[in-house]
């Protein structure tokens, strides 16, 4: 799977969640959307989506323990560590439920949103959790094949949108996607099918996460986190010493003193 992710920019792993677990996560997602609105965090984002038929749920890690379990699911982390290395951070965890009638958002790569070009290596990636069967008609995420090889904006083809392909995957699958892949949500042209996806976004630890977990996570939720989660969320006191520390150690070992 890791080879496919490196080579193609994505891989699809079926059957990560069994149907009963998918149903449970989906139910908690709908409750999280309501809780988000009650807490004053809107679930409609006119800046992102062309109409009000997408439900966006932010701060999933704060809203329910089930999302704190998913973000560290062993099959997800194996792919994250395989692509980004052991020193990664959880950058964000959000949901996009595309309801019938939803449209496609702007084409983008998630790495381009957090680091300027050139994009020479995978420094971020998504684990996309499919809570519904994903197919072109219900607004499956659309991606530009081989676009993880694009290193700067001027390499993006002018006709990129007409070259997009749709991911297809059964509910319960995860899709691991290199942060450099250019993609967008599809339009949901079905009459009644909802398309719920969760986007676990991870980055190398020298990039600032998309959200400030110290501000997002309440003291109650922070108190529940173990040492790994605290590290992956950047909640410890030390923020950016690892690379510098290794460099100093190496130079101190070799230097003239
Ligand atoms: O919902 C999708 O299929 C894609 C969403 C996305 O790329 C985003 O919200 O940045």
Domain layout of the chain by residue ranges = 2-254
The CA 221 to ligand 1 mean position distance, Å, reads 26
| Percent with pLDDT over 90 in the chain | 92
Q: Tokens representing 215?
A: 């501000």
The CA 49 to ligand 1 mean position distance, Å, reads 9
Residue 211 phi, psi dihedral angles, 5° rounding: -120, 160
> What CA–CA distance (Å, rounded) separates 13 from 111?
22
> What CA–CA distance (Å, rounded) separates 213 from 225?
12
pLDDT tens, position by position, 101-148: 999 999 999 999 999 999 999 999 999 999 999 999 999 999 999 999
> What CA–CA distance (Å, rounded) separates 84 from 114?
15
> What CA–CA distance (Å, rounded) separates 51 from 67?
27
SS3 for 176? strand
Per-residue pLDDT, 250? 78
CB atoms within 10 A of CB 86: 9
> What CA–CA distance (Å, rounded) separates 37 from 22?
23
Per-residue pLDDT, 244? 63
Q: What is the mean pLDDT of the chain?
A: 95
SS3 for 124? strand
**Sorting pLDDT into bands at 50, 70 and 90, what band is 253?**
confident
Higher pLDDT, 245 or 168: 168
The CA 185 to ligand 1 mean position distance, Å, reads 5
**Sorting pLDDT into bands at 50, 70 and 90, what band is 257?**
very low
Q: In the 8-state DSSP scheme, what is residue 113?
A: T
**Sorting pLDDT into bands at 50, 70 and 90, what band is 254?**
low
182: CB partners within 8 A, 6+ apart: 107, 108, 109, 143, 144, 147, 150, 156, 160
| Percent with pLDDT over 70 in the chain | 96
The pLDDT of 231-255, averaged and rounded, is 79
Per-residue pLDDT, 124? 98
CATH 2.60.120.620 fits 2-254, yes or no: yes
> What CA–CA distance (Å, rounded) separates 61 from 196?
17
Q: Is the pLDDT of residue 243 over 80?
A: no
> What CA–CA distance (Å, rounded) separates 67 from 136?
26
69-73, 159-163, 241-245: least confident range: 241-245
Per-residue pLDDT, 255? 53
Per-residue pLDDT, 238? 86
Q: Is the pLDDT of residue 149 over 90?
A: yes
The CA 251 to ligand 1 mean position distance, Å, reads 43
Q: Go through the chain and tell me how many residues it has.
A: 257
H-type alpha helices, 113-239: 213-216, 219-224, 227-232
The pLDDT of 215-233, averaged and rounded, is 97
Residues 199, 175 contacting (CB under 8 angstroms):
no
pLDDT tens, position by position, 11-42: 999 999 999 999 999 999 999 999 999 999 99
Residues 125, 202 contacting (CB under 8 angstroms):
yes
> What CA–CA distance (Å, rounded) separates 227 from 97?
32
What are the pocket residues of ligand 1 if the criterion is a CB atom closer than 6 Å to any ligand atom? 96, 141, 183, 185, 197
Per-residue pLDDT, 256? 52
Peptide bond into 194 cis (omega under 30): no
Q: Tokens representing 217?
A: 């996570």
What is the best residue among 136, 141, 143, 174 to mutate for testing ligand 1's pocket, by most ligand atoms within 8 Å of CB?
A: 141
């Amino acid at each position: 799977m890791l080879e496919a992710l490196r080579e193609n920019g994505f891989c699809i792993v079926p059957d990560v969640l069994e149907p009963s677990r998918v149903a449970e996560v989906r139910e908690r997602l709908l409750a999280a959307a309501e809780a988000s609105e009650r807490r004053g965090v809107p679930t409609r984002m006119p800046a992102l989506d062309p109409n009000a038929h997408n439900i966006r749920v932010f701060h999933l890690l704060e809203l329910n323990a089930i999302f704190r379990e998913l973000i560290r699911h062993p099959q997800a982390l194996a792919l994250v560590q395989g692509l980004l290395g052991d020193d990664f951070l959880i950058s964000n965890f959000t949901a996009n439920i595309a309801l019938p009638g939803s449209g496609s958002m702007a084409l983008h790569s998630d790495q381009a949103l957090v680091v300027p070009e050139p994009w020479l290596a995978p420094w971020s990636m998504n684990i996309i959790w499919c809570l519904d069967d994903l197919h072109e008609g219900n607004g499956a995420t659309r991606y530009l094949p081989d676009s993880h090889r694009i290193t700067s904006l001027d390499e993006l083809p002018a006709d990129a949108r007409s070259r997009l392909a749709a991911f297809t995957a059964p509910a319960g699958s995860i899709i691991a996607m290199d942060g450099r892949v250019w993609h967008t949500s599809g339009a949901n042209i079905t009459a009644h099918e909802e398309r719920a996806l969760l986007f676990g976004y991870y980055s190398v630890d020298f990039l600032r996460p998309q959200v400030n977990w110290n501000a997002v996570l309440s003291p109650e939720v922070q108190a529940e986190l173990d040492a790994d989660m605290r590290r992956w969320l950047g909640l410890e006191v030390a923020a950016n010493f690892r690379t510098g520390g290794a460099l100093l150690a190496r130079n101190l070992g070799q230097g003239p003193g």
